[in-house]
Structure 1
Amino acid sequence: MVEGSMTQGAGQGPVVRTATLRDFRVPPYAQVPVQSQLAEEQKEPPAPPQPPQAATPSQPHEPPGPQPEPTAQEVLPPRSTHPGNAVPEDELPEGYTPTERDLPVIKRADPGDTVKMQTIPGEGSDGLGPLYVVGDVHGYFDELVEALAAQGLIDADGGWAAGNARLWFLGDFTDRGPDGIGVIDLVMRLSAEAAAAGGYCKALMGNHELLLLGAKRFGDTPVNSGAGTATFQAAWLLNGGQKSDMDRLQDVHVQWMARLDAVVEEDRHLLMHSDTTAYLDFGSTIEDVNETVHEILTRNDADECWDLFRKLTKRFAFRDEGGPQAVRDLLATYGGQRIVHGHSPIPYLLGEVGNEDGEEVERTVIDGPHVYADGLAIAMDGGVTMAGKLLVVQLPVPN
């Protein structure tokens, strides 16, 4: 993708990353990190993990140095042995995020529908610098650092380098990838450094933040799922929860996640995590939605938190024939000219999900966001968990 531009995010050619797709499924019995399981298979003791220790806003800045542990590609075992490929024999609980094997296949978007938006250097409506957004990270710390550095947002030491620029993360920091807590630590530190430089780095609530909070607070407590018994702990594991993240989760992380907003408008872009109209259930203004979400989390009721998680796990509302009108309904209620969201990987929106036998299919290279729903929606989840790309993109200055 040409720097400073945004396209539909679909070019032609073979996949750049040749690793097989990483299935999302992690059954309840997968209680140990992937690193340890792989080492056991190789009959060698696993090297102790050395997660990056980023300072929180109350701590002094200690730039992360080169990490000696293996990369995610080196750590992940082949598809046939990855615990994420094990499919639970019992019925999946409600709230389970569909995987590449059970998502519906849709017709790929016509290349003629491609929408291009050229970013224009200049200040935003609030007098600050350019506006950037980050799609779903899901624990892929190394990929996040690389993507932020490529946009000039951080320096070689991992420190904020973008002055008065604005950076919004669209949620889903943990699960499925190797270092979700490292990602949260980095975002918290960059928030403090950006504020000190005259800009800001902020984050939205994703469904995986709700899932991790629920697993931490409620564990195996049964919740009323509307279709039988479910628990946050089981749903978290089925959706890629990593024991290493739970072991390292601290009160400061829990408090930070619980205070995240669900919706925000920046430069007439309506930012939200999920491509769903379920936000309308929580209020008729952005302020109402965010206040309602915070109140639900403060009340700490397992059933109420589950209902919130379930609704914000819904997806694909902006796809297909009724998609443009769904976007217009949200924009009419909350404001803005275009929705920018994560949650649904672009390969799924393009209908590229493989077949039931798990065989590889030729896929489009994801090199940028997917603009769809009559140009009213921008999908930012490049599918980093399935050999795609972690997207960090500058949004265009409004007219």
Structure 2
Amino acid sequence: MTPEDRFPGPEHPDSGPRHQPDLDVLPYGTYYEPDPNGGYSPTGYEAETYSGYGGARYLEQHWPVTGPEQGHTVHAQNGPHEQAGYEPTLPDHPSPAHGGHPGPGPQSDDPPTIELGPPLPEPGQPYHPYPAPAPGEPVGPLYVVGDVHGYLDELRTELRHQGLIDADGHWSAGRSRIWFLGDFTDRGPDGIGVIDLVMQLAAEAAAAGGYCRALMGNHELLFLGAARYGDEPVQSTAGTASFLAAWRLNGGQQSDLERLEAHHISWLSRLPAIALEDGHLLLHSDTTAYLEYGESIPEVNDAVHDLLADEGVDEWWDCFRRFTKRFAFRGDSGPTAVRELLDTYGGARVVHGHSPIPYLTGAVHADDGMPPHVPGPYVYAEDLAVAMDGGVTMEGRLLVSRLPI
């Protein structure tokens, strides 16, 4: 059975029931988990293990988690979701087929940037720009969005539930601020639709005096690598692999690759890897690998952007491998790892995606066979870390939450 057979993605446009995926894995290879017998190490933050295609099943065999760790708190969110009865108007998608061959480089086209002006009116309609914030006017509330993984309908529902978009899928939050924590694509049915919506909201929010911004997750690196390098071999720690094989292994959807355009590639390639907002250090991955790319936020982001612009396939692969590490903040050494990041980059608390909350809490397998219960963001590591991946790919929740938690 091929890796593609083991990790099938949804074949239908609706979200529907979905399988419980393994955690991200590297082909025939390596993933990284904390050493259960070792303490925190400033030089080797996570211990390397070899799992074949084991993923989370290997993790459960070797590091079983029976429940939330002592002192960890699950904070409830709002009530039941509103039903989605709206369909935002998104751009049409020409479909150039990549066919697994390297795509255009990250600088092949100028994308719509974060700081765009108001959306253009319909032909013949008057132009009414949104008011700019007055000098000294307080900023709007801050929200974060966990891993979306192509579940566009769930994203619309949650944004609407929080009052951030209207019934037509357009920005309705004024000067509010949103950070997406990465992983727009893979496993779910419409990753390109998610990217298009985020880019649309970025323009509309900026015009309203707020903003909608996003971090680069490990699946952005994987998706870009699959488009650019295809089946070109890379040297992994367990043999030869390729971005395309790894992307398929981790839930890559062929329809996303076929609809990927130059402006998507350019926009994704320029996303920051790390940000600091209102005392919250925003990361995609719960790993200390960011420390390997610089001692300040600008250094980390510049290092990743320079790598994506100039370096070759092996350097890209190494970057993807590092940001696929996880669980550095869990266990007895977790608070020390979080403090290392906070001391280096600033902030009082880390907010991250990447690792689904059901895996962090040990609620993956319910005795009654029901989907995992995710009431809201998960606060742990002595209240220094907030996990935002609600496990939408495993019938958990797509989390959109206002900070501070």
Which interval holds the TM-score relative to the shorter structure? 0.7 to 0.9
User: For this pair of structures, how many residues does the alignment match?
Assistant: 323
Q: 2:66 aligns with which of 94, 107, 114?
A: 107
Corresponding residue for residue 295 of structure 2: 284
CA displacement at 1:35 relative to structure 2: 2.9
CA displacement at 1:101 relative to structure 2: 2.7
Deviations 1:64-110 (A, max 9, x none): xxxxx6x3117x6xx6xx9x79xx9x972345896443333313115
Deviations 1:299-343 (A, max 9, x none): 141000000000000000000010000000000000000000000
Corresponding residue for residue 64 of structure 1: none
Deviations 1:27-86 (A, max 9, x none): 2368997437xxxxxxxxxxxxxxxxxxxxxxxxxxxxxxxx6x3117x6xx6xx9x79x
Deviations 1:144-167 (A, max 9, x none): 000000000000000000000000
Alignment of 1:377 onto 2:385: yes
Partner of 1:101: helix, strand, or coil? Answer: helix
CA–CA separation in structure 1 for the residues paired with 2:224 and 2:318: 14
Partner of 1:153: helix, strand, or coil? Answer: coil
Contact 2:296 2:345 in 1 (8 A): yes
Corresponding residue for residue 10 of structure 1: none
Corresponding residue for residue 386 of structure 1: 394
Corresponding residue for residue 162 of structure 2: 151
CA–CA separation in structure 2 for the residues paired with 1:214 and 1:248: 15
Partner of 1:72: helix, strand, or coil? Answer: coil
Which residue identity does 1:227 align to in structure 2? Answer: A
Contact 1:209 1:257 in 2 (8 A): yes
Alignment of 1:219 onto 2:227: no
Corresponding residue for residue 103 of structure 2: none
Instruction: Give the TM-score, by structure 1 length.
Output: 0.74
Which residue identity does 1:107 align to in structure 2? Answer: T
Alignment of 1:188 onto 2:199: yes
CA–CA separation in structure 2 for the residues paired with 1:220 and 1:245: 17
CA–CA separation in structure 2 for the residues paired with 1:386 and 1:151: 22
Contact 2:75 2:375 in 1 (8 A): no
Alignment of 1:73 onto 2:16: yes
Corresponding residue for residue 40 of structure 1: none
Partner of 2:59: helix, strand, or coil? Answer: coil
Alignment of 1:341 onto 2:300: no
CA displacement at 1:365 relative to structure 2: 1.5
Contact 1:26 1:240 in 2 (8 A): no
Partner of 1:102: helix, strand, or coil? Answer: helix
Which residue identity does 1:367 align to in structure 2? Answer: P
- RMSD, aligned CA: 3.0
CA–CA separation in structure 1 for the residues paired with 2:204 and 2:375: 29
Which residue identity does 1:109 align to in structure 2? Answer: P
Contact 2:176 2:210 in 1 (8 A): yes
CA–CA separation in structure 2 for the residues paired with 1:99 and 1:360: 23
Contact 2:269 2:308 in 1 (8 A): yes
CA displacement at 1:169 relative to structure 2: 0.1
Q: Which runs of 5+ in 1 are unaligned?
A: 1-24, 37-68, 120-124
Contact 1:175 1:242 in 2 (8 A): yes
Instruction: Give the TM-score, by structure 2 length.
Output: 0.73
Q: 2:243 aligns with which of 232, 240, 244?
A: 232
Q: Residues 25-44 of structure 1 correspond to what in structure 2 (within 5 A)?
A: 27-28=3-4, 34-35=10-11
| Greater displacement, 261-270 / 222-231 | 222-231
Q: Which runs of 5+ in 2 are unaligned?
A: 32-51, 79-135
| Greater displacement, 220-229 / 159-168 | 220-229
